[in-house]
Structure 1
Amino acid sequence: MRHVPRTPAQERGATTPSLSPRTLAGPVAPASERGHNGLTDIASGAWPRLCAALQRPCPPEGLLIAVSAWCIVSANAPFWHDLHVAGAAPGVQVAFGVALVALHALLFGLFAFGRALKPVLCALLVVTALASFFATHYAVLFDVEMIHNVLRTNPAESRELLSAGLLLHVLLRGVAPAVLLALVPVRRDAIGRAAVRRVAFLLAMALLAAGALGSASQGIFSLVRADHALRYRITPGNVLVSAVRAAGERDEVPPGERQPVATDARQTTTPVMRRPRLLVLVIGETVRADHWGLNGYARDTTPQLRARGVVNFPDVSACGSSTEVSLPCMFSALGRAHYDRDAIRAQQSLLDVVARTGVTVDWLDNQSGCKGVCAGTGMETMTAAIDPAACRDGRCLDAVLVTALRQRLDTAQGDTLLVLHMLGNHGPAYFERYPETFARYRPTCTSADLARCAQPAIVNAYDNAILYADAVLGQLIDLLAARTDRDSALLYVSDHGESLGEYGLFLHGAPYAIAPAQQLQVPMVLWTAADSARSMGVDLACVATAAQAPHSHDDLFATVLGFFDIATRAYDRRRDIAGGCRTG
């Protein structure tokens, strides 16, 4: 046998060192000499510990608490900011935080169980990240109506809301923690044992929430009473609770199943007895009253309407702060005065009543639909086929409505009601609502992510869009004025207003009870030729005087009935904007 000589160290009894990565790498320098390599060593040591932690089965209830805590901490900056501004003591804030974690863990625990645990929690993380972005950047409050708005947002509107900031926010605060959650193994127990543990967990969370709220009840409940919107800022509870409530509400009722309204309606005069009448009812989008030049705004955003001598209504209130609420409401016999969402959607609209009397009714839409208002009478959506020059990337500027009206005027017969639904000032991409030639006010915000723009630039883009809407309205009036074969009128009213940063709010859709005036006060104007007014027996000077009084969307129902001489018990002369000014 060949003899292998032993080294001096072996002769002294030392063992042969193992060939570990650290040994192969050579001698280790002292920490003071390693510099940044020390961080590398720490990280290399932390990674195995993290992997080991991820391999250790975690009880489902632990994940519920972890996800709940993450949501409350990472997705509620506006909520915590409001608590701080309100002067909440540190103890109150801690108690509130503990209660919210417990309540959300309880809520999650009701439907995230078994094999659905991870998918549900991962989805919640992404939804929470989405909601927190809009709550942080636009101060969006997620009540039931906002959920309806979200569910009925069309693809074009959705694309405009996409931004690099949104994607990065969702990636970091939603997708990344969801991926981490997906890697964590979950302990599996027998069904009976898991059920008992889940019930005990839910009871524990309820007791913890009650205890936390009770420990600072005076401070917490005084904050909630002082700020009614506070509960709408708690994410994701606001989204989940509002979504459940929205799901429980009645959806669109088919036209044939809707309750008839004003069944006694009939025309007291017809085109056989007089000239045919044409009312062009223009529904504006997201235009607020205090940026309307005719209302005294510092900028003359309505030069075309001013030149055409329209009757301006300076004090008009909207039915709601969103299209989803305002459109059905303003075309309803109930209105805001007797507002009931389900009742309104279960009834026929003003358009059904008018059409039943023999008046031709059409809805020309350049927005997101009629929200069920025109379900019984039909709707034509504006496309590039009508006016290619006005359309691009699947969306048309409001000039397309001018072309559509010109085509309808050539074929209209008898009494006609045409509803034109404008794209208007729909946000947040105000800069895409007008041609470059209307960019009078600069610099303009050219991003749909309003957080990237200074407020003056946002206002400039918004005002430019009003300036363009004014030009479109001027062209519509000119088309009507050129026709002498009928008595014509144009009535314009916006569906709701818009917040442009006041009180930290952007866009619209705030709960009606707490919505600011910027979202609820809207412009309204009436135009009719002098000879048409005389033919219809309307004193325009009287209407101009009456216009100075407060008005609202609730006036629309009676005003349209009055224009076409439709008599019914549902007609309220006091609500007709020309009701007290008819000489006939």
Structure 2
Amino acid sequence: MPSWHLVVSAELLALIASLYFTLTANHLFLNSALQGRDWGDHKTWLLAIALLLAITGIHTALFLILFSRRTAKPLLITLLVITAAASYYMNRYTVFFNGEMIRNILRTDFKEASELLSLDMLLHILLYAGVPIALLSRMHIAKRRWTRTLWIRPLCVIAAAVVTVAAVLPVFQDFSAMMRNQKEMRFLIMPGAYLTSFTRVLASDGKQAATGRISISEDARLGALWAHRSKPMLFVLVVGETTRAANWGLNGYARQTTPRLASLEGIINFPYATSCGTNTEVSVPCMFSPFGRHDYDEEKIRSHESLLHLIHRTGISTVWRDNQSGCKGVCDGLPMTHIDTSQKSPLCDGERCLDDILTEGMDTDIQRAPNGNVFVVLHQLGNHGPAYYKRYPPELRRFVPTCDTADLGKCTKEQIVNAYDNGVLGTDRMLASTIAYLKTQTHYDTAMLYLSDHGESLGEHGIFLHGLPYSIAPKEQTQIPMVMWMSSGFSSSFGINRDCISRRANQPISQDHLFHSLLGLLRIESKQYDPAWDAFKGCRA
């Protein structure tokens, strides 16, 4: 029996593909757009039909521009697979595919990405991409003279645009209000959202690569106080990962998830700290920038040097020790040590290392400093989800039962929270051991500051993980822990009143304060310093 095949034009294939994506990949967008509306009201039905037609019309026009007889099938196969995977994570974890999320995806290493793989995801892709790809394999794109395509294709694009406009006009008031008041919803439209965001990210990164980073440190210098200090300085900044304030023991959480820190003297806890973003790609560049969330401009932040470049310019040696996926550009051109996860160590399993590894071998980095003054950043793997159960050793598995899979859909909320809290115990142990290490460095004036890059959702409002657009992100993703410790020698030589900082700690503070507060704390003079954003301004002699 001869195998069957179907001959279709590229234009018809574009329409079929658009209809398919509209009906299978845009449930979250439609649910969000129509949430709370009365289905007994005919206006709700008009809006629903208008949205379906508009999504189909927009994608049809886009595909008509991209598709040709040679490119249609490979492009569509790629879109089917990516959209199936995207729709799975959108529906499972409420993911928005804006530029920030696309950057996260592009910067994610294989080990991190592999933790997101699951059997359910593969089955979802097989169903929503495998079946249409099998049907597509039986289709042939009709041959046509290019002269006919030259006038047929533009007419089809115009027709798709007319249908889109005609669909929206009768409900324009509702539609415009929705797009104005809920701008983030456009990042749920598949596959248009990730295609648009991907294009913008490439354009932005290409522009930055062509121009290079703009210096902010030409005038940076050490203040006069440095000439009177008797010891070199060792300052450790720990950049956490995915730890939220709500589960931080020192903040009054029902469970004591920070027992080691709670037992130490001299710990200053900041219970009202907030992040600059809801993902690492935003928060890390932002917290090391003089601009911050209050004057947020992503292109400006990424195109300028960071706090580390400024500190390095003064002669203080800087080093970034990384147990995650890099410094996100803030240490470009500066010394960086990436933890070798394949090393033979009880802290490593060949794929990941526990964060305690960050202080091992730090002596080597410190001893390279030509004048002895060192500023070290320890970038944690922290509590990065969804594989929370991999973020702590067996002896810290205190809260049970735990979710022992990266597929959170197979666990109860109690199991997820238990695994997460055990991970917080891991961060507590790592910070306490870092302070213990600094106490042994008696030939330095030492200090440590810890803050997480962002928080995490653990099922509140049906949301998991992190990365929602900042304007609609729940507090669980933006409220973070922050802790400080300094030796008596450090506070004395830099003229710091620790009691004053302890009192100041009970006021709101954000990652926007980091840049200016550290310049003030370390007595570094620069035109970039803004005293209005120095959280410790009134606590120095």
TM-score range, shorter chain: over 0.9
The SS at the match of 1:527 is: strand
| Residues 359-388 of structure 1, C-alpha deviations (whole Å, 9 max, x = no match) | 111110001000111112121001257761
Q: 1:404 Cα deviation (Å)?
A: 3.1
Q: Which residue of 1 aligns with 2:143?
A: 188
In structure 2, do the counterparts of structure 1 residues 176 and 555 end up closer, same or farther at CA, with 3 Å as the change threshold?
A: same
The SS at the match of 1:392 is: coil
Question: Is 1:152 aligned with 2:107?
Answer: yes
Are the aligned partners of 1:255 and 1:376 in contact in 2 as well (CA < 8 Å)?
Answer: no
Q: Which residue of 2 aligns with 1:329?
A: 286
| Residues 7-47 of structure 1, C-alpha deviations (whole Å, 9 max, x = no match) | xxxxxxxxxxxxxxxxxxxxxxxxxxxxxxxxxxxxxxxxx
Instruction: Name the amino acid aligned to 2:151.
Output: V
Q: Which residue of 2 aligns with 1:391?
A: 348
Q: 1:301 Cα deviation (Å)?
A: 1.1
The range that moved more, 269-278 or 430-439, is 269-278
Q: 2:372 aligned to 414, 436, 440, which one? A: 414
Gaps of 5+ in 1: 1-47
Are the aligned partners of 1:362 and 1:417 in contact in 2 as well (CA < 8 Å)?
Answer: yes
Rounded Cα–Cα distance in structure 1 between residues aligned with 2:36 and 2:490: 57
Are the aligned partners of 1:397 and 1:434 in contact in 2 as well (CA < 8 Å)?
Answer: yes
Q: Which residue of 2 aligns with 1:348?
A: 305
The range that moved more, 408-417 or 448-457, is 408-417
Q: 1:504 Cα deviation (Å)?
A: 2.3
The range that moved more, 413-422 or 334-343, is 334-343
Q: Which residue of 1 aligns with 2:256?
A: 300
The SS at the match of 2:269 is: strand
Q: Which residue of 2 aligns with 1:7?
A: none
Q: Which residue of 2 aligns with 1:382?
A: 339
Q: Which residue of 2 aligns with 1:514?
A: 472
Question: Is 1:66 aligned with 2:16?
Answer: yes
The range that moved more, 489-498 or 104-113, is 104-113
In structure 2, do the counterparts of structure 1 residues 520 and 155 end up closer, same or farther at CA, with 3 Å as the change threshold?
A: same
Are the aligned partners of 2:494 and 2:522 in contact in 1 as well (CA < 8 Å)?
Answer: no
The 5 A counterparts of 1:9-20 are: none
The range that moved more, 54-63 or 248-257, is 248-257
The 5 A counterparts of 1:488-507 are: 488-507=446-465
In structure 2, do the counterparts of structure 1 residues 184 and 427 end up closer, same or farther at CA, with 3 Å as the change threshold?
A: same
Q: Which residue of 2 aligns with 1:81?
A: 31
Q: Which residue of 1 aligns with 2:41?
A: none
Q: Which residue of 1 aligns with 2:69?
A: 114
| Residues 455-478 of structure 1, C-alpha deviations (whole Å, 9 max, x = no match) | 221111111111110011011111
Decide which structure has the larger Cα Rg and report it: 1
Rounded Cα–Cα distance in structure 1 between residues aligned with 2:331 and 2:211: 13
The range that moved more, 533-542 or 398-407, is 398-407
Rounded Cα–Cα distance in structure 2 between residues aligned with 1:504 and 1:178: 32
Rounded Cα–Cα distance in structure 2 between residues aligned with 1:255 and 1:329: 21
TM-score, scaled relative to structure 1? 0.87
User: How much is the aligned-residue C-alpha RMSD, in angstroms?
Assistant: 2.1
Are the aligned partners of 1:277 and 1:564 in contact in 2 as well (CA < 8 Å)?
Answer: no
Instruction: Name the amino acid aligned to 1:349.
Output: S
Rounded Cα–Cα distance in structure 2 between residues aligned with 1:99 and 1:173: 22
Are the aligned partners of 1:415 and 1:564 in contact in 2 as well (CA < 8 Å)?
Answer: no
In structure 2, do the counterparts of structure 1 residues 64 and 383 end up closer, same or farther at CA, with 3 Å as the change threshold?
A: same
Q: Which residue of 2 aligns with 1:275?
A: 231
Q: 1:257 Cα deviation (Å)?
A: 3.8
Q: Which residue of 1 aligns with 2:523?
A: 565
In structure 2, do the counterparts of structure 1 residues 257 and 98 end up closer, same or farther at CA, with 3 Å as the change threshold?
A: closer
In structure 2, do the counterparts of structure 1 residues 442 and 378 end up closer, same or farther at CA, with 3 Å as the change threshold?
A: same
The SS at the match of 2:7 is: coil
Rounded Cα–Cα distance in structure 2 between residues aligned with 1:253 and 1:360: 26
Question: Is 1:434 aligned with 2:392?
Answer: yes
In structure 2, do the counterparts of structure 1 residues 256 and 480 end up closer, same or farther at CA, with 3 Å as the change threshold?
A: farther
Rounded Cα–Cα distance in structure 2 between residues aligned with 1:407 and 1:115: 56
| Residues 440-468 of structure 1, C-alpha deviations (whole Å, 9 max, x = no match) | 11221111122222222111111111111
Q: Which residue of 1 aligns with 2:445?
A: 487
Are the aligned partners of 1:140 and 1:506 in contact in 2 as well (CA < 8 Å)?
Answer: no
Q: Which residue of 2 aligns with 1:466?
A: 424
The SS at the match of 1:161 is: coil
Q: How many residues align?
A: 533
Rounded Cα–Cα distance in structure 2 between residues aligned with 1:226 and 1:346: 30
Are the aligned partners of 1:491 and 1:526 in contact in 2 as well (CA < 8 Å)?
Answer: yes
Rounded Cα–Cα distance in structure 2 between residues aligned with 1:70 and 1:426: 34
In structure 2, do the counterparts of structure 1 residues 256 and 144 end up closer, same or farther at CA, with 3 Å as the change threshold?
A: closer
Q: 1:92 Cα deviation (Å)?
A: 2.0
| Residues 230-252 of structure 1, C-alpha deviations (whole Å, 9 max, x = no match) | 21211111111111222221358
The range that moved more, 83-92 or 515-524, is 83-92
